[in-house]
Amino acid sequence: MNKHFKTASLGILALFVSCTQKETFCAYHSFPQSEWAPADTVRFEVPISDHSTLNDIYIEVRNNNDYPFRNLWLFVDYGNPDGQTRSDTIHVELADIYGKWYGKGISLYHYSFPYELNVQYPDTGKYVYSIRQGMRENPLKGISDVGLKISRKGAIE
């Protein structure tokens, strides 16, 4: 069994393990050959039909042992149905100081970290999240997937 087949198989398995029934939204974007170019923007369109609940928003990253850094810089753009936008710069530690990857996995590591917690969407409609990598490598090797997961916490009274 070759290395690419193993990595692809683990990636597909991780998709099924990562998204569960409790999420209101869960989607991933995969990068061919686990290479993320600076111009590649990952876009998630999130339909919100209930704005009376609190939500936790997580960004999911899958990397392999070819990733040359301990950290990852991300640029996240957020847009609401009214056309208002916001941009955030996020620094994520993917490994400890000894190089041990955070998250779960063996040769493909899945790490989920909070982007925003206790978010109440102001209205129903389509919300857009766009994510770009902010590293100086072109392409950035070792990142196989980026995902967005939104979990509902409960109704607000």
Q: What span, in angstroms and rounded, lies between the C-alpha atoms of 155 and 36?
A: 38
Q: Please check whether the domain covering 3-155 is classified as CATH 3.30.780.
A: no
Count of alpha carbons within 13 Å of 66, Cβ hemisphere only? 15
Q: Which pLDDT does position 24 carry in this prediction?
A: 87
Q: Which pLDDT does position 4 carry in this prediction?
A: 47
The domain segmentation of the chain, as residue ranges, is 3-155
Q: What span, in angstroms and rounded, lies between the C-alpha atoms of 155 and 137?
A: 43
| DSSP code for 80 | -
Q: Which pLDDT does position 23 carry in this prediction?
A: 79
Q: Which pLDDT does position 37 carry in this prediction?
A: 95
Q: Which pLDDT does position 116 carry in this prediction?
A: 96
Q: Which residue has the tokens 């683990």?
A: 10
Mean pLDDT of 55-60: 97
Q: Which residue has the tokens 């100086």?
A: 136
- Over the chain, what is the mean pLDDT? 88
Q: What span, in angstroms and rounded, lies between the C-alpha atoms of 17 and 14?
A: 5
Q: Which pLDDT does position 154 carry in this prediction?
A: 62
pTM of the model: 0.84
